[in-house]
């Protein structure tokens, strides 16, 4: 309800006029067909038309200023929507480009890792093969040295006297044979 407070009158805004609604005194309604506003002079029964001046008084006319304001708001809304659409498109394109770049980087990294693993595998295989070859060569040299030592020991044993001595200890590191162990020491 509208209020009278001292030397002021406070109106009650009621939105668009409806012919099925009953209005109180000082109610303000909008005529949607013209854009004009009306204030109720007294209690208004439902169905009372806005052109009945006993009940309604014109409070404001729709003007070109309101139209200009409406047009400006409409243009601003159009510009904001266009800007939002451009921004959304740019974001989508940026996300697509970023996703492609990330995928390319991932593919390149995977290829680099695969190549590095293959190189490491080749290096390990070559190193193991060289180590096995060196081991085989060392084994062959050891077997050859063993055969030489066995032959040498057999020859020492074959030429030994009946005296008990340590036969293989008579040979020193320079392959010189001493008469007995005591001479060697």
**DSSP annotation string for 77-120:** HHHHHHHHHHHHHHHHHHHHHHHHHHHHHHHHHHHHHHHHHHHH
Instruction: Tell whether the model's pLDDT for residue 45 goes beyond 70.
Output: yes
**Confidence class for position 42, pLDDT limits 50, 70, 90:** very high
Give the CA radius of gyration of the chain. Answer: 57
With bands split at pLDDT 50, 70 and 90, how would you rate the model's confidence at 49? very high
Q: Which two tokens stand for residue 136?
A: 């085989």
19 contact partners, CB below 8 Å, separation of at least 6: 46, 47, 48, 49
Is the pLDDT at 41 greater than 90? The verdict is yes
In a domain, 72, yes or no: no
CATH of the domain at 45: 2.10.10
What pLDDT score does 74 carry?
92
Structure tokens, 35: 């854009």
CB crowding 97-106: b at 16 or more within 10 Å, else e:
eeeeeeeeee
Q: Is residue 181 part of a domain?
A: no
Could you tell me the pLDDT band of residue 177, with boundaries at 50, 70 and 90?
confident
Considering the domain boundaries, does residue 26 fall inside one? Answer: yes
pTM of the entire structure? Answer: 0.36
For 7, 48, 160, 162, 163, the CA distances from 177, given in Å and listed in that order, are: 142, 146, 12, 18, 17
Domain boundaries, position 36: 3-62
> Could you tell me the two tokens for 106?
């991932």
pLDDT band of residue 34 (cuts 50, 70, 90) is confident
Q: Is the pLDDT of residue 146 over 80?
A: yes
Question: How large is the average pLDDT for residues 142-153?
Answer: 88
Residue 58 has pLDDT above 90, yes or no: yes
Residue 44 burial by Cβ neighbours in a 10 Å radius (0-12, 13-18, 19+): buried
Give domain status of residue 25, yes or no: yes
Residue 160 has pLDDT above 70, yes or no: no
User: Is position 152 within any domain?
Assistant: no
- pLDDT at 168 exceeding the cut of 60: yes
Beta strand 8-10 with 12-16 is unpaired
Domain annotation covers residue 46:
yes
- Residues 170-182: what's their mean pLDDT? 77
Establish if 54 belongs to a structural domain. yes
State how many domains the chain has. 1
């Amino acid at each position: 309800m509208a209020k009278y407070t001292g030397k002021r009158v406070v109106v009650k805004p009621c939105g668009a006029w409806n012919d099925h609604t009953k209005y109180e005194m000082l109610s303000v309604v909008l005529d949607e067909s013209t854009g004009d506003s009306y204030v109720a002079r007294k209690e208004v029964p439902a169905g009372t038309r806005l052109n009945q001046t006993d009940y309604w008084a014109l409070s404001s006319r729709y003007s070109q200023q309101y139209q200009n304001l409406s047009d400006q708001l409409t243009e601003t809304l159009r510009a904001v929507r266009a800007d939002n659409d451009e921004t959304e498109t740019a974001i989508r394109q940026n996300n697509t480009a970023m996703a492609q770049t990330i995928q390319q980087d991932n593919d390149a990294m995977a290829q680099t890792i695969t190549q590095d693993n293959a190189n490491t595998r080749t290096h390990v295989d070559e190193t193991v093969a060289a180590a096995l070859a060196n081991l085989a060569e060392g084994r062959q040299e050891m077997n050859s040295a063993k055969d030489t030592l066995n032959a040498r020991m057999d020859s020492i044993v074959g030429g030994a006297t009946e005296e008990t001595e340590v036969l293989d200890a008579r040979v020193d590191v320079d392959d010189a044979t001493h008469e007995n162990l005591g001479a060697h020491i």
